[in-house]
Homo-oligomer: A and B are copies of this chain.
Amino acid sequence: MHGIALGVAYQGTHFHGFARQPGMRTVYSALLQAVQCMGSDVTELRGLSRTDSGVHARAQVVAFDSQQAIVSRGWVLGLNHHLPADLAVRSARTVPVGFNPRFASLGKRYVYSLLVDPLPDPLLAHATWHVHQPFDFDLARAELEAAVGTHDFAAFRSASDTRPSTERTILRCSVTRNAGDPRCVDLEVEGAAFMHNMVRILAGTVVDVGLGRKKPGTLALALASRNRQDSGRTAPPQGLVLAASQLDWPEGTGEAWPASA
């Protein structure tokens, strides 16, 4: 058997999220189908992050074990031949059999993008949350700062997330105007692990403060109260992208393509 880990990117608009769901077009099913098109016996994939319906990724990692001896470059070029335009393999490397990227995660960086403008822009609609002015950029920036560090994020997860521990660590965050398009504001959040909807509720809270719908200090108060009622809206999925991921590659990780990946 041979273990393979793929670097995967997708535009989430027309996927029902990453995870396998019977009868649904998901990233998992489209990718598995492409792997099988290469003559493989693979029936199970292991993903780094279960991104939601509509959420995008530049840095998803997906591992599987195959009886085929195919070099990394072969997996990348071969799979892209079988994948639709909204899903691509960007890199591959050989890993030990059974490798699960979720348990090797050192950190993930999410970017949530806003279009701050009085008018909608259809060319950005699939990749931004359109918020109307007046949006107070400085208030939003100050608000997100409170998320940095190790906190109990119980107020920042969806009801569907029932994992016992709600403590997480945010290593870094920022709110910046997009250099290429000053109407766009990017919220970046970097951490080791996240709960379901956590980044989207952080973004929704920050936007609610930036728009004056919630008072400055809401995020810190919700961290303290641990009550979902005290945090803000869940920001819609299309603004979110899994932008980067860092893995603790195990011993036995082998040749990669491209070499720089």
Q: A179-B180, A180-B179, A180-B180 are in contact. Are A76 and B125 (CB under 8 A)?
A: no
Inter-chain contact B123/A56, CB cutoff 8 Å:
yes
Q: Could you tell me which residues of chain A, from 69 to 118, have a CB within 8 Å of some CB in chain B? A: 76, 80, 85-88, 90, 118
Q: Could you tell me which residues of chain A, from 38 to 87, have a CB within 8 Å of some CB in chain B? A: 56, 58, 76, 80, 85-87
Inter-chain contact A120/B85, CB cutoff 8 Å:
yes
Inter-chain contact A122/B80, CB cutoff 8 Å:
no
Inter-chain contact B241/A122, CB cutoff 8 Å:
no
**A126 touches B (CB below 8 Å):** yes
* Alpha-carbon distance between A220 and B129 when the two chains are bound, in angstroms: 45
Option from B10, B88, B119 in Cβ contact (under 8 Å) with A119: B88
**A140 touches B (CB below 8 Å):** no
Inter-chain contact B118/A258, CB cutoff 8 Å:
yes
Q: Is the interface of A mostly helix, strand, loop or mixed?
A: loop
Q: With a CB–CB cut-off of 8 A, which chain B residues contact A85?
A: 120, 122, 125-126
Inter-chain contact A11/B119, CB cutoff 8 Å:
no
**A9 touches B (CB below 8 Å):** yes
Interface string of A222-261 (1 = CB under 8 A from B): 0000000000000000000100000000000000001000
User: How many chain A residues touch the partner (CB < 8 A)?
Assistant: 25
* Alpha-carbon distance between A241 and B85 when the two chains are bound, in angstroms: 19
Inter-chain contact A123/B241, CB cutoff 8 Å:
yes
User: In chain B, what residue has the closest Cβ to A180?
Assistant: B180
Inter-chain contact B180/A125, CB cutoff 8 Å:
no
Name, among A88, A121, A123, the residue most crowded by chain B CB atoms within 10 Å (CB to CB).
A123
Q: With a CB–CB cut-off of 8 A, which chain B residues contact A125?
A: 11, 85-86, 88
* CB of A168, distance to nearest CB on chain B (Å): 26
* Alpha-carbon distance between A152 and B127 when the two chains are bound, in angstroms: 41
* Alpha-carbon distance between A54 and B205 when the two chains are bound, in angstroms: 36
* Alpha-carbon distance between A121 and B7 when the two chains are bound, in angstroms: 12
Interface string of A1-12 (1 = CB under 8 A from B): 000000001110
* Alpha-carbon distance between A230 and B258 when the two chains are bound, in angstroms: 37
